[in-house]
Amino acid sequence: MAIDIPLKVKALFRPRLAKRRRPSDLASPPCQHSKKPRDEPAPTPDTAAGDRVSLDLQLSSPFFRDVPIEIRKMIYDLVWRDPYEDAYHSPRGRHIHFQEGRWSNTRCVMYDDDEDLDWIQKNMDRIPSSRAGDMVMWQKRLSSTWGSRHWRCEERIRHERQKSVDQTNFMSMMLVCKRMFPEVVESIFESYQFLFNDIYTAHRFFVYSPSPHVSHIRNLDLTLNLGFHEYAPFITDLPKSRVRELWEALGRISCLHNLRISLDIYDRGPWRKIPEQRVVAQLRDLRVLNNFTLELPPPLPIRVDPPNMHSLDAEEEAPFRVVRRPPLRYWQFMPGEVEHFRWETRTKGQQSHCFITPTREARHIPNPYLIDFF
Ligand SMILES: [Zn+2]
């Protein structure tokens, strides 16, 4: 297999005479950045000599012998630079997928405009007056499980795309040698923003089959638009939950710098009520150094407090910033017909009911789900 090693790195691997090796190199402990997990002890030169498959410390290489780990990681970071970095909103954003038994990653191609959580509906607002645009297509984006930010990224992987935009040096660098492999993986985890858009991939990555280097992740973005069954354990107090296991795994990452978690529910139409307090209870214990944002569905127009479905109280002190998505005003209630609607409430006695009224039709669509929880 052809290995494409950048020239600057390749130069550091030119063989040198062993006479420049210093005894202090062998005696010096590994720096903090290259500490191995407990179950993976660092091999000694003796074991390396006696066992052909063990790790060779590559001390004849000036790259490992003379360059400290901090500088080596700066070099790796330069290797990761590519011409598309400045073309999109997130210069180092990579969407992670586990599909058909293998891992893949694609570049995040969202633009600055996509940070506006109402941007899709604003585009839908313009369609009737401009008579340009396809409401059904925008509705599909609005209801995408990838969230409003990453609809471009989702469409890219579902259709023909320019493969060069996704190219990285990851594999070529990881194949250089066993000595370099862990440093390269750690550098990837530290240098990129990892984006997950489905619970299956995120659970597999952090819980089911985690990399020993996963604790090096610094920037993480989880968009979890889940089915009702994923939230049900929080309502009925069932112990088994992939969401709980995922939060526990995130708690083991000691040096998260930036974390955004976007939660939503996809199989309840525009009625997007989730058991917020219970779902996010574990998140209060996460340690995030810089920015920690929790994004939640818009609140319903009426206060709804069925058992275990309480909303997160924004007034309550939390170690994260709570962002609410704007209320939905478009939905496809009938196949092929996207309708603009408004939320209304009606009070009868001591009870209030919330329902949807399409703008162009005199009919009411009641909330069919909330009675599930009484
Ligand atoms: Zn994206």
pLDDT at residue number 296: 94
Question: What's the gap in Å between 259 CA and the centre of ligand 1?
Answer: 15
pLDDT at residue number 1: 43
Q: With DSSP H G I counted as helix, E B as strand and the rest as coil, what are the percentages for the chain, rounded to 5?
A: 35, 20, 45
What is the rounded average pLDDT of the residues 309-327? 82
pLDDT-based confidence at 142, cuts 50/70/90?
A: very high
> What does the pLDDT look like over 117-137, one tens digit per residue?
999 999 999 998 888 889 999
Question: What's the gap in Å between 103 CA and the centre of ligand 1?
Answer: 17
Residue 71 confidence (pLDDT) above 60: yes
Question: What's the gap in Å between 95 CA and the centre of ligand 1?
Answer: 6
Question: What's the gap in Å between 92 CA and the centre of ligand 1?
Answer: 10
> What does the pLDDT look like over 143-186, one tens digit per residue?
999 988 999 999 988 887 788 898 898 999 999 999 999 999 99
Question: What's the gap in Å between 220 CA and the centre of ligand 1?
Answer: 12
CA distances from 120 to 161, 200, 223, 346 (A): 22, 26, 17, 29
Question: What's the gap in Å between 119 CA and the centre of ligand 1?
Answer: 15
> What does the pLDDT look like over 327-367, one tens digit per residue?
999 999 888 899 999 988 887 777 777 889 999 888 888 87
Question: What's the gap in Å between 166 CA and the centre of ligand 1?
Answer: 12
Question: What's the gap in Å between 150 CA and the centre of ligand 1?
Answer: 4
Question: What's the gap in Å between 108 CA and the centre of ligand 1?
Answer: 4
Question: What's the gap in Å between 294 CA and the centre of ligand 1?
Answer: 17
Question: What's the gap in Å between 59 CA and the centre of ligand 1?
Answer: 41
Chain-wide mean pLDDT for the chain?
Answer: 83
pLDDT at residue number 2: 44
Question: What's the gap in Å between 169 CA and the centre of ligand 1?
Answer: 20
pLDDT at residue number 319: 87
Question: What's the gap in Å between 336 CA and the centre of ligand 1?
Answer: 27
Which parts of 52-206 are beta strand (E)? Answer: 93-99, 102-107, 193-196
What is the rounded average pLDDT of the residues 223-252? 94
pLDDT at residue number 361: 81
Pairing of the two strands 330-334 and 337-348: antiparallel
List the one residue out of 45, 9, 39, 41 whose CA is nearest residue 25. Answer: 45
pLDDT-based confidence at 314, cuts 50/70/90?
A: low
Question: What's the gap in Å between 195 CA and the centre of ligand 1?
Answer: 7
List the one residue out of 91, 72, 31 whose CA is nearest residue 173. Answer: 72
The encoded tokens of residue 265 equal 């529910």
Q: Lowest-pLDDT range, 131-140, 193-202, 276-285, 296-305? A: 296-305
List the one residue out of 238, 299, 307 whose CA is nearest residue 273. Answer: 299
pLDDT-based confidence at 97, cuts 50/70/90?
A: very high
Question: What's the gap in Å between 305 CA and the centre of ligand 1?
Answer: 34
Question: What's the gap in Å between 287 CA and the centre of ligand 1?
Answer: 24
Question: What's the gap in Å between 106 CA and the centre of ligand 1?
Answer: 9
Question: What's the gap in Å between 153 CA and the centre of ligand 1?
Answer: 5
Question: What's the gap in Å between 204 CA and the centre of ligand 1?
Answer: 20
Question: What's the gap in Å between 120 CA and the centre of ligand 1?
Answer: 15
Question: What's the gap in Å between 143 CA and the centre of ligand 1?
Answer: 16
Q: Report the share of the chain in percent with pLDDT over 90.
A: 55
Question: What's the gap in Å between 172 CA and the centre of ligand 1?
Answer: 24
Length of the chain equals: 374
List the one residue out of 246, 263, 272, 248 whose CA is nearest residue 327. Answer: 272
pLDDT at residue number 346: 80
The answer to whether 223 and 149 are in contact (CB under 8 A) is yes
Residue the block writes with tokens 């469409």:
155
Q: Is the dihedral of CA 31, 32, 33, 37 positive or negative?
A: positive
The answer to whether 327 and 343 are in contact (CB under 8 A) is yes
pTM over 0.85: no
Question: What's the gap in Å between 194 CA and the centre of ligand 1?
Answer: 10
Residue 33 confidence (pLDDT) above 80: no
Question: What's the gap in Å between 3 CA and the centre of ligand 1?
Answer: 28
Question: What's the gap in Å between 241 CA and the centre of ligand 1?
Answer: 26
